[in-house]
Amino acid sequence: MKDVKLFYLKNCPFCKKAISYIESLKAQHKELAQVEIEMIEESEQKELADSFDYYYVPTFYVAGEKVHEGGIYPEEVEEILRKALE
């Protein structure tokens, strides 16, 4: 399974939606429940966040590759989780 990183801000409404979508999808699909996501709150882990190339949150990386940046929909989150399983 590929590693997944999610860069977010705790007060970001799009980030809250992304996290909600992750929880919902993991509850609906057993195979997605096994995907582990490293959650990186960028204001609390600034040095780590600054070492990655992105401007907007939420931003997802799968196996070191940026796969999504900015506002997000449930189907996009599902695609990201499934990519981690490949």
Report the candidate in 19, 7, 81, 15 with the shortest Cα–Cα distance to residue 46. Answer: 7
pTM: 0.94
Tokens 């929909």 sit on residue: 73
Per-residue pLDDT reduced to its tens digit, 19-54: 999 999 999 999 999 999 999 999 999 999 999 999
pLDDT (mean) for 7-16: 97
The dihedral built from the CA positions of residue 10, 32, 53 and 49, taken in this order, carries a sign that is positive
CB 5 within 8 A of CB 81: no
In angstroms, the CA 8 to CA 5 distance is: 10
